[in-house]
C-alpha cells in the first residue's frame, strides 16, 4: 500500500481518488485556497459536490493550511490544479514536496514565450526547480478522460508521461484498474502538447454545433460540419506537434481522442455553441457566469506562438486557418465565419 496525496480538489484531481483508493492505497485530498467549501462538503458528506457518487470509504480530506500534514510521509503527489493554478502550484506546493516523491499532474495547457516557443507545464515547473536548486520527478497524465465518467468507471485509456520509465511503471502500478488503462511514455512534450492543443480545437468544432442550432433549431443533429472541422483540427494539431518535436504519432492519437471527448461535453463545448449561435466572446463569458475557460487561454497562447513562427518563416499561415479564425473570434470579437474552403486541398499522388 502506498500513500497518495492529491493537491487540488477540482473534479479531475478528485476523480483520481477513486482508482487510487480502490487499489487499497491511503488517499489524502488537500484542497487549494479556492477549494475550502469543496473540502468542507467532502468532510461532511464524503462526496464531491459535482459528483453523483460517494468517495470510496477511508479517504482523508485536508484544507490548504494542512498541506504539510497531507504531504508528510506520502509516496506520490498528484497535482489536481487547473491551468490557472500553475504558478500557484510552482510557488506553494513544489518547494515543499520531498525530492524522493514523484509528482503526477493532470493539469493540461501550454505557455507561450515571446520568441514563439510553447512550453508544457512540466517545463515551467522544471524552471522553478532549477531556480531553487531542487530536483523532483515530474510526470503528467494525458488522454481522453472526463472526471465524472472516471468516477462512474467507464472504460478509460490515458497516457502517463515522464522522464523515467521505471517511475512511470511504478505510477501505473499504483493507479491502473480494470477500468482505468494506462500507457506510459517518455515523450512528455508530445503528450502534453497534444492534450493541451485539443482544448482550443474542441472549441472550434463546437462552433459548428452553435451555427447549426442557429440555422436549424436545437432538435436536429448535424455531423458533416463537425466532422469537417474535426479533420482540419487533426491536421493542424499534427503540424503543431511537428513544431514541438513530438516523437511519435501515438501522441496525436492521444490528443485526437481527447479532442473527441471534449467536443461532447464540458465548458469548451458550451462556449463554442454560444459563439456559434452569434454571441461575442464577452457575451458568451457572461452567459457562463464565471465558469473557468481554459480552452480560451490555450487557444490564445498557441495562436500567439503560431503568429510569431509565421513571421519567422518557420510555419505557414495557410496551414492554420482554423486556429487563426478561432483566435480572431476570441481576441478580436470577430463573427464566426468558418473558412471552409481553406480546409480543402489539391494533392496529386
3-state SS string over 139-170? Answer: EEEECCCCHHHHHCCCCEEEEEECCCHHHHHH
User: CATH 1.10.1040.10 in the chain, residues?
Assistant: 191-343
For 109, the grid coordinates are 495547457
Q: What is the pLDDT of residue 33?
A: 94
CA separation (Å) from 343 to 13, 321, 339?
37, 7, 7
Task: Report whether 81 contacts 88 (CB < 8 A).
Answer: yes
Let me know the angle formed at the C-alpha of 266 by 228 and 29, rounded to the nearest 5 degrees: 140
Residue 29 forms beta bridges with which residues?
6, 61
Q: How far is CA 47 from the centre of its chain?
A: 23
* C-alpha separations of 190 from 158, 168, 229, 241 in Å: 14, 16, 22, 7
Kindly report each contact of residues 253-257 with a partner whose C-beta sits within 8 Å and lies 24 or more positions away, as own/partner: 254/142, 254/143, 254/144, 254/158, 254/159, 254/183, 254/191, 254/194, 254/195, 255/142, 255/193, 255/194, 255/195, 255/197, 255/198, 256/194, 256/198, 257/143, 257/144, 257/157
Contact, 98 vs 76, CB < 8 A?
no
pTM (2 decimals)? Answer: 0.93
Residue 35 has what pLDDT?
Answer: 96
Can you give the pLDDT at residue 233?
95
Instruction: Write down the CATH number for the domain with range 3-186.
Output: 3.40.50.720
312 within 8 A of 116, measured Cβ to Cβ: yes
Location of each CATH 3.40.50.720 domain in the chain: 3-186
Lookup: cell for 192:
502534453
Distance of CA 310 to the CA centre of its chain: 26
Contacts 24+ apart (CB under 8 A), 209-212: 209/269, 209/272, 209/273, 209/276, 210/272, 210/273, 210/274, 210/275, 210/276, 210/277, 210/278, 210/336, 211/276, 211/277, 211/336, 211/338, 212/276
Instruction: Supply the pLDDT for residue 293.
Output: 78
Q: Specify the CATH number for 191-343; select among 2.60.15.10, 1.10.10.1100, 1.10.3720.10, 1.10.1040.10.
A: 1.10.1040.10
- What tens-digit pLDDT sequence spans the chain (349 residues)? 999 999 999 999 999 999 999 999 999 999 999 999 999 999 999 999 999 999 999 999 999 999 999 999 999 999 999 888 999 999 999 999 999 999 999 999 999 999 999 999 999 999 999 999 999 999 999 999 999 999 999 999 999 999 999 999 999 999 999 999 999 999 999 999 999 999 899 999 999 999 999 988 887 778 999 999 999 999 999 999 999 998 777 778 888 899 999 888 778 899 999 999 999 999 998 888 866 678 899 999 999 999 999 999 999 999 999 999 999 999 999 999 999 999 999 989 8
Q: How far apart are the C-alpha atoms of 7 and 92, rounded to whole Å? A: 11
Amino acid at each position: 500500500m502506498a500513500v497518495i496525496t492529491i493537491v487540488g480538489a477540482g473534479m479531475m484531481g478528485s476523480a483520481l481518488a477513486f482508482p487510487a483508493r480502490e487499489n487499497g492505497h491511503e488517499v489524502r485530498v488537500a484542497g487549494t485556497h479556492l477549494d475550502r467549501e469543496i473540502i468542507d462538503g467532502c468532510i461532511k458528506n464524503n462526496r464531491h459536490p459535482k459528483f453523483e457518487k460517494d468517495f470510496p470509504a477511508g479517504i482523508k480530506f485536508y484544507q490548504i493550511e494542512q498541506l504539510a500534514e497531507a504531504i508528510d510521509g506520502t509516496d506520490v503527489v498528484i497535482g489536481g490544479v487547473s491551468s490557472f493554478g500553475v504558478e500557484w502550484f510552482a510557488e506553494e506546493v513544489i518547494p515543499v514536496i520531498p525530492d524522493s516523491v514523484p509528482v503526477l499532474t493532470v493539469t493540461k495547457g501550454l505557455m507561450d514565450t515571446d520568441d514563439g516557443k510553447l512550453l508544457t507545464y512540466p517545463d515551467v515547473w522544471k524552471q522553478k526547480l532549477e531556480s531553487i536548486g531542487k530536483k523532483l520527478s515530474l510526470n503528467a497524465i494525458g488522454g481522453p478522460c472526463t472526471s465524472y465518467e472516471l468516477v462512474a468507471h467507464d472504460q478509460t485509456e490515458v497516457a502517463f508521461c515522464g522522464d523515467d520509465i521505471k517511475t512511470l511503471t511504478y505510477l501505473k502500478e499504483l493507479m491502473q484498474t480494470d477500468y482505468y488503462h494506462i500507457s506510459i511514455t517518455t515523450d512528455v512534450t508530445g503528450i502534453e502538447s497534444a492534450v493541451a492543443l485539443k482544448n482550443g480545437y474542441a472549441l472550434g468544432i463546437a462552433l459548428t454545433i452553435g451555427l447549426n442550432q442557429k440555422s436549424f433549431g436545437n432538435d436536429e443533429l448535424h455531423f458533416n460540419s463537425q466532422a469537417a472541422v474535426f479533420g482540419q483540427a487533426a491536421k493542424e494539431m499534427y503540424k503543431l506537434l511537428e513544431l514541438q518535436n513530438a516523437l511519435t504519432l501515438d501522441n496525436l492519437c492521444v490528443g485526437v481522442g481527447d479532442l473527441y471527448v471534449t467536443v461532447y461535453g464540458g465548458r469548451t463545448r458550451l462556449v463554442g455553441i454560444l459563439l456559434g449561435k452569434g454571441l461575442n466572446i464577452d457575451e458568451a463569458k457572461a452567459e457562463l457566469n464565471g465558469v473557468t475557460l481554459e480552452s480560451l487561454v490555450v487557444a490564445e497562447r498557441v495562436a500567439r506562438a503560431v503568429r510569431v513562427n509565421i513571421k519567422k518563416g518557420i510555419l505557414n499561415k495557410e496551414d492554420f486557418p482554423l486556429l487563426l479564425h478561432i483566435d480572431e473570434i476570441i481576441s478580436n470579437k470577430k463573427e464566426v465565419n468558418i473558412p471552409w474552403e481553406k480546409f480543402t486541398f489539391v494533392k496529386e499522388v
